[in-house]
Amino acid sequence: MGIRLEKAWMDLNSETIASLPAQLGVYHVANSDGTVLSVGYAGAGHLFGMRSALEEELDLHGDQATKFRFEFTANYRSRWDELLMLHLHDFGQLPSHQKAEQSRVGRLSPD
């Protein structure tokens, strides 16, 4: 199993989000070029899991973010950490809309 989140992109809009199960997991939000703007997670604190987390992203970044891809996992916290580490490894910095501090993200050399 690959460790990168490489699922198919979906349109970031209310209709698509409403069709998602209310489960826990991680996601990428990206602009129309496919540039990842943020890596997030839907945790147990989100009322309707993935749906609520992506609604928040739509509210916050809907002007630039046009698509998303996701993965359901109960290990959303450690998987989120892993995706941030992977992004840092691949691009040398965190996504532009990321709230996490770069100094708090670990190092990973997967290749």
Partner 1 sequence: MDFSLNEEQQLIVDTTRRFVQSEIVPLEDHLDPDAGSLEPSDYDRLVAKTQSMGFYGLDIPEEYGGPGLNTTTRALMAIEMSQHRAGLYNPCYGVFGGAGLAQLYEATDDQKERWLYPTLKGEKKGCFALTEPSGGSDPARAIQTRGIKDGSEWILSGSKLYISGADKADYALIFARTSDDPGRNGVTAFIVDTDTPGFHVRRVVHTLRATHYATELQFDEMRVPEENILGEVNGGFAIANDRLSRQRIPYAAGCIGPAIRAQEMSIDWAKSRETFGSPLAEKQAIQWMVVDNEIDIRHARYCVLEAAQKADSGERFRTEAAMAKLVATEASSRVIDRCIQIHGGVGVTKDLPLERWYRELRIRRVGEGPSEVQRLIMARDILGGSFK
Q: Which residues pair with 29 in a beta bridge?
A: 38, 68
Binding segment for partner 1 (CB under 8 A), chosen from 10-18, 27-35, 39-47, 55-63, is 39-47
Could you say which of 78, 93, 96, 102 contacts partner 1 (CB under 8 A)? Answer: 78
- Is 110 a binder of partner 1 (CB under 8 A)? yes
- Is 77 a binder of partner 1 (CB under 8 A)? yes
Residues between 45 and 64 with contacts to partner 1, criterion CB under 8 A: 45
Q: What x-and-dash track marks residues 5-34 binding partner 1 by CB under 8 A?
A: ------------------------------
Helix (H, G, I), strand (E, B) or coil at 18: helix
In the chain, % helix, strand, coil (3-state, to 5) comes to: 35, 20, 50
Q: Of the two residues 14 and 78, which places its CB atom closer to partner 1 in the complex?
A: 78
Q: Using the 8-state DSSP alphabet, how is residue 104 labeled?
A: G
Q: How many Å apart are CA 65 and CA 23, to the nearest integer?
A: 22
Kindly report the number of other CB atoms within 10 A of residue 37's CB atom: 21
Q: Using the 8-state DSSP alphabet, how is residue 39 labeled?
A: E
Interface residues with partner 1 (CB under 8 A) are 3, 43-45, 74-79, 81-82, 85, 104, 106-110
